[in-house]
Structures are given as structure tokens and as C-alpha cells.
């Protein structure tokens, strides 16, 4: 887990396998996020659903079908 306070996270990896269907490291970093953080999940619908169920803080969620991604924006 990087020791950073991100403003933007773009999730596009790592490669998924039959045994690993979601990337979960972001949950371990969530306590460091500041309001205004944007988390973009690119084309990983299973990961998007996982985050919608497991992120603990309050986010505005937008699914952008034209770009095939989803955005979570942390609110204060």
C-alpha cells in the first residue's frame, strides 16, 4: 500500500484471474482519503459493485456508460 494521500485514483489493473475477481487495496487506503477524492474504475463492473458495497465513507457515484467507467467522489 503506497504511503500517499491521493486526490485521484484510476483503477485499471492488476490483471484479474479466475481466483481474483476484484482489486481490494483501495479499501485499505480509504481512511487516508480527503474529501474531493475521485476514484475512477475503468471497465471493471464487478469491482465497481464491490466498492459500492464495501466503501465505508460517503461517495457520490456516477456510472458513465459512454466511457465504460464509474466514478466515486468522496464528499465531506
pTM, two decimal places: 0.88
Task: With beta carbons less than 8 A apart as the criterion, state whether 63 and 48 touch.
Answer: yes
Q: How confident is the model at residue 1, as a pLDDT? A: 73
Task: With beta carbons less than 8 A apart as the criterion, state whether 37 and 9 touch.
Answer: yes
Phi, psi of 23 (to 5 degrees): -95, 125
Above 90 in pLDDT, residue 59? yes
pLDDT digits (tens, 9 = 90+) for 1-58: 778 889 999 998 777 788 888 888 899 999 999 999 999 999 888 899 999 999 999 9
Q: Any idea what the Cα angle at residue 48 is, between residues 43 and 50, rounded to 5°?
A: 140
Question: Rounded to a whole number, what is the distance in angstroms from the first to the last CA of the chain?
Answer: 24
Amino acid at each position: 500500500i503506497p504511503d500517499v494521500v491521493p486526490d485521484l485514483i484510476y483503477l485499471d489493473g492488476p490483471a484479474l484471474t479466475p481466483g481474483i475477481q476484484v482489486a481490494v487495496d483501495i479499501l485499505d487506503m480509504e481512511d487516508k482519503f480527503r474529501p474531493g477524492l475521485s476514484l475512477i474504475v475503468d471497465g471493471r463492473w464487478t469491482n465497481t459493485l464491490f466498492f459500492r458495497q464495501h466503501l465505508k465513507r460517503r461517495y457520490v457515484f456516477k456510472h458513465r456508460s459512454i466511457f465504460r467507467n464509474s466514478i466515486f467522489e468522496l464528499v465531506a
